[in-house]
Structure 1
């Protein structure tokens, strides 16, 4: 049993409510900070949204990000596969004219062939084959993805294996999959920015919010590893983990 009152108090942040894709509990207070990327996904997609007649936002979460990209084209649909987020996205987006579709099978999308001029995807799974089917000729696909090495130091220090299913998910393999399905790559970048945690409470809140980082995460199971991180933060003031991000813009030739 670890006897450390500060550590115990921070661990209570696991009980804080997380809804949609809103990390403001730890980001707005400065307890979790991210190093900047050399690109802005929002600045890339927003001008394109205003030049097309139809678009799809894959994996909209609670609709927080998409809602800030107005004005929208005449036809706009957003998908979400995580059931708790679907109603949140509907409440936020449908008054803005966005149809929100809950996905059941992400490899068989419920859309017509060549239905969309633009497909955007931020941190969401996609099937290159399905993208080709539903994207119109001369259409564009833009995605920012989380790579398979994302925040691997968290797993290493608390004693959890990385998710080997996505270990090789990187720019090279993603580009290869798109090119094999008839896409022409017009922009690609890959970076490893730092994500900095300033207290152990911010880390346990983060791990609760994104369960795929440590799929079996429980405070009691990883108590010793979490305490190691806590002591590291007490010594140097923070704990750093490298994120893994890559960006692709592709067009149908």
Structure 2
């Protein structure tokens, strides 16, 4: 048992509740800060929505982002695969006219062929085959993705392996895959901004919110390594990791 009062205080973050896809508990208190990208996903999305007749938001989380993009096209749907998020999204978005659809498989989306002329996707998986099926001709697909090596320094410091299933996932792979399925790439960018944690409790909360970073994460298993990161933060004032982000705007030809 580590006898450090400050460390013991911070690890109580394991008891904090996380819901939807809302990191304001960390961001609004300044306990975590993200580096700046050269693009704004929201700024790119807004004019596309104004031109669309039918749109789909893939992986809407609790609907936090989509709820701020009104007014919507005449037809608008959103998918979510994480069951606890579905009622949150419904409560937030259905009064605004959004149809929420819970899904289990990216390869079998419950929509008719040629249903949407705009599909947006922020940090959600997708199947190019299904995108091609449900998009109209000249329909637009916009996605911002998290690369497979995202925040790998967390895993290194904890002595936890990266998920090899996603090591290949980067801009080049995603562009090639979309082009192979009949998409024309209109714009694409990839960057690696820093993410800074100012206390170990913020990192613990973050790892609870995104369990795929370290799938077997528990305080008990990683306590010694967490304490080493805590000492880094106490010495430097922060713990930095490198994010991986890329964005693609494509049109179906």
- Report the Cα offset of residue 25 of structure 1: 1.2
> Counterpart of 2:219 in 1: which secondary structure?
coil
User: What are the residue-to-residue correspondences of 1:148-227 with 2, within 5 Å?
Assistant: 148-227=148-227
How far apart in 1 are the matches of 2:191 and 2:14? 29
SS at 1:50's partner residue? helix
Q: Tell me, in whole angstroms, the C-alpha distance in 2 between the residues paired with 1:95 and 1:30.
A: 32
SS at 2:189 equivalent: strand
Partner of 1:104: 104
Counterpart of 1:75 in structure 2 is 75
Q: What is the TM-score with the length of structure 2 in the denominator? A: 0.99
Q: Distance in 2 between matches of 1:67 and 1:47?
A: 16
Q: In structure 2, how many angstroms separate the alpha carbons of the residues matched to 1:63 and 1:133?
A: 25
| Runs of 4+ with deviation above 6 angstroms | none
Query: Residues of 2 paired with 1:219 and 1:46: CA distance?
Result: 41
Report the Cα distance in structure 1 between the residues aligned to 2:177 and 2:146, rounded to whole angstroms.
16
Separation (CA, whole Å) in 1 of partners of 2:46 and 2:225: 41
The answer for the alignment partner of 1:86 in structure 2 is: 86
User: Residue in 2 aligned with 1:64?
Assistant: 64
Offset at residue 163 of structure 1 (A): 0.7
Q: CA deviation at 1:171?
A: 0.2
Secondary structure at the counterpart of residue 108 of structure 1: coil
* C-alpha deviation, 1:75, in angstroms: 0.2
Counterparts of 1:42 and 1:198, CA distance in 2: 27
Q: Match for residue 22 of structure 2?
A: 22
Structure 1: 5+ residue stretches without partners? none
Partner of 1:2: 2
Q: Which residue of 1 aligns with 2:129?
A: 129
- Root mean square deviation of aligned Cα: 0.5
Q: CA deviation at 1:73?
A: 0.3
Deviations 1:175-209 (A, max 9, x none): 01100000000000000000000000000000000
Aligned residues: 253
